């Protein structure tokens, strides 16, 4: 468990160490008596080394984890100049936000289709004790667990709803929901290392190259079918309206056979991809 400590300011220790160093130089330069001066000078140098060893500078958004002969003492997260027990061991950790741009992974989605997926993760160290001692290397741990989380996300949902029409969430259309699921899974996985996940987003998503062409054709065919369906629905409505208007206003009397011919012609005109060519018919339906 992380324990925050606040050591004493190091400016007083720095002044004392410089003063002791100056006193040591003074003793070494005195001519008489030589033996006593050398001993006092050596003592001053040892005191100077003691104070200098205990001085610690912490830059902004950095921290130090302190140990005493293998026992965890605490963590210092304030920045500045501090003085600690010179016998303490220190381990430096950065508290700055870091980006992890993972490599593009080739995995199978929920339907078994090979896809390419990549993500960007923004993270920072939150618990210095866990980051330093609960995992061997917290940076490698973040990279490995992030890759595992992205792979798990890919196999949990289909790429789109072409094969799974009842899919509530798809990777392509999930948007913020997919990002939230990825961020939550990363938070759960990286909590052991004391890592805070600030943001996680899908940065690359596509079908694998070996099936990209076929899936593109399938998407185009689906779009064409959907468009044709709308066109037919509209054409049927227009034909029905035309027949009702002709009958209501007594413009012309049509029997069933002539109605069928009219419906056929109108459907061809309304559903055809090209403009209809006008033809002058001087005869009748039967001649």
pLDDT at 76: 95
- Bridge-based pairing of strands 80-83 and 105-108 is unpaired
pTM of the complete model: 0.69
Q: Which residues contact 172 (CB under 8 A, 6 or more apart)?
A: 159, 160, 205
28 close to 41: Cβ distance less than 8 angstroms: yes
pLDDT at 171: 86
Give the integer Cα–Cα distance in Å for 65 and 73.
8
Which residues of the chain fall short of a pLDDT of 70? 31-34, 162-167, 210-228, 235, 246, 250-259, 262-263, 265-287
- Bridge-based pairing of strands 62-68 and 89-94 is antiparallel
SS3 42: helix
The DSSP secondary-structure symbol of 229 reads H
Tokens of 140: 């490698």
Q: Which residues contact 158 (CB under 8 A, 6 or more apart)?
A: 109, 110, 111, 113, 164, 167, 170, 171
pLDDT at 96: 94
CA distances from 2 to 8, 72, 112, 194 (A): 19, 9, 44, 9
pLDDT at 193: 93
Sign of CA dihedral 222, 227, 233, 239: negative
């Amino acid at each position: 468990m992380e324990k925050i400590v606040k050591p004493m300011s190091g400016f007083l220790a720095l002044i004392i160490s410089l003063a002791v160093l100056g006193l040591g130089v003074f003793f070494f330069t005195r001519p008489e008596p030589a033996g006593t001066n050398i001993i006092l000078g050596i003592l001053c140098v040892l005191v100077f080394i003691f104070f200098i060893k205990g001085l610690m500078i912490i830059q902004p958004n950095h921290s130090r984890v302190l140990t005493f002969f293998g026992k965890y003492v605490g963590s210092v997260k304030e920045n500045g100049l501090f003085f600690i027990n010179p016998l303490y061991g220190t381990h430096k950790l950065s508290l700055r936000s870091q980006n992890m741009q993972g490599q593009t992974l080739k995995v199978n989605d929920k339907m078994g289709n090979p896809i390419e997926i990549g993500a960007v993760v923004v993270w920072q160290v939150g618990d210095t004790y866990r980051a330093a001692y609960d995992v061997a290397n917290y940076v490698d741990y973040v990279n490995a667990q992030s890759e595992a989380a992205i792979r798990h996300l890919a196999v949990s949902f289909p790429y789109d709803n072409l094969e799974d029409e009842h899919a509530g969430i798809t990777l392509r259309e999930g948007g913020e929901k997919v990002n939230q699921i990825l961020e939550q899974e990363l938070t759960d996985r990286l909590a052991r290392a004391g890592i805070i996940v600030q943001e996680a987003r899908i940065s690359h998503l596509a079908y694998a190259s070996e099936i990209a062409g076929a899936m593109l054709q399938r998407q185009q065919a689906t779009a064409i079918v959907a468009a044709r369906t709308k066109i037919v629905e509209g054409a049927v409505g227009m034909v029905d309206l035309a027949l009702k208007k002709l009958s209501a206003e007594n413009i012309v009397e049509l029997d069933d056979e002539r109605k069928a011919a009219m419906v056929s012609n109108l459907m061809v005109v309304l559903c055809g991809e090209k403009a209809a060519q006008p033809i002058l018919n001087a005869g009748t339906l039967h001649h």
